[in-house]
């Protein structure tokens, strides 16, 4: 059994986040899509941000608890960060948060995604203002779908390429 927890980084500890987004192997699932992210490289799937963007992002995510959340997934046995999780306000409604889970390529397929998502769900639903978690991703990401469904997410809509999933706080 993995021994993990969520670690909230300090502003000076964001190198792991920066390197995770810049790693072509980790971000390959984004490759080739028309995504509207600042610093997104369609050829590699990677995302690069300058220091000004990172400062604004950090201020937003770390001064608005219940609205925004970001943490590293930390494996206590390995003494290493293996990925990250986040939530932020959704455009769907004020009670929904969009979520994200990224596992470093070398740690995929080892259970970290499911465990990290489970911890993120617990954190998100500790806030009374959050009633629904939402995620969407490409249909071919079968492992992501399985993890979400195993933790209670339901498909609420699908397009030709994308699945839209939600989990309600009950």
Q: Please report the domains of the chain, with CATH numbers, ordered by start residue.
A: 4-124 (3.40.630.30)
Helix ranges (DSSP H) in 23-159: 51-62, 112-124, 142-150
| CB contact at 8 A, 96 and 131 | yes
Average pLDDT over residues 84-88: 98
Q: How sure is the predictor about 133, in pLDDT bands with cuts at 50, 70 and 90?
A: very high
Which residues, in sequence order, are bridge partners of residue 85? 71, 101
pLDDT at 1: 62
pLDDT at 165: 97
Q: How many Å apart are CA 6 and CA 123, to the nearest integer?
A: 9
Average pLDDT over residues 80-96: 96
pLDDT at 35: 85
Q: How many Å apart are CA 30 and CA 170, to the nearest integer?
A: 32
pLDDT at 36: 86
pLDDT at 45: 95
Average pLDDT over residues 139-163: 96
Average pLDDT over residues 38-44: 94
Task: Give the alpha-carbon dihedral of 51, 52, 53, 54, to 10 degrees.
Answer: 50
Average pLDDT over residues 57-81: 95
Measured in degrees and rounded to the nearest 5, phi and psi for residue 41 equal -110, 110
pLDDT at 2: 82
């Amino acid at each position: 059994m993995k021994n993990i927890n969520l670690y909230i980084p300090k502003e000076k500890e964001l190198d792991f986040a920066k390197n995770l987004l810049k790693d072509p192997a980790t971000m390959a699932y984004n490759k080739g899509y028309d995504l509207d992210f600042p610093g997104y490289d369609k050829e590699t799937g990677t995302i690069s941000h300058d220091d000004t963007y990172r400062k604004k992002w950090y201020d937003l995510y770390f001064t608005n608890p219940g609205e925004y959340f970001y943490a590293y997934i930390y494996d206590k046995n390995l003494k290493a960060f293996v990925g990250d999780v986040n939530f932020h306000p959704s455009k769907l409604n004020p009670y929904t948060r969009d979520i994200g889970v990224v596992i470093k390529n070398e740690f995929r397929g080892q259970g970290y995604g499911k465990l990290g998502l489970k911890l993120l769900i617990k954190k998100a639903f500790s806030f009374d203002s959050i009633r629904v978690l939402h995620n969407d991703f490409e249909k071919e990401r079968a492992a992501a779908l399985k993890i979400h469904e195993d933790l209670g997410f339901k498909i609420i809509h699908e397009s030709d390429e994308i699945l839209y999933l939600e989990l309600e706080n009950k």
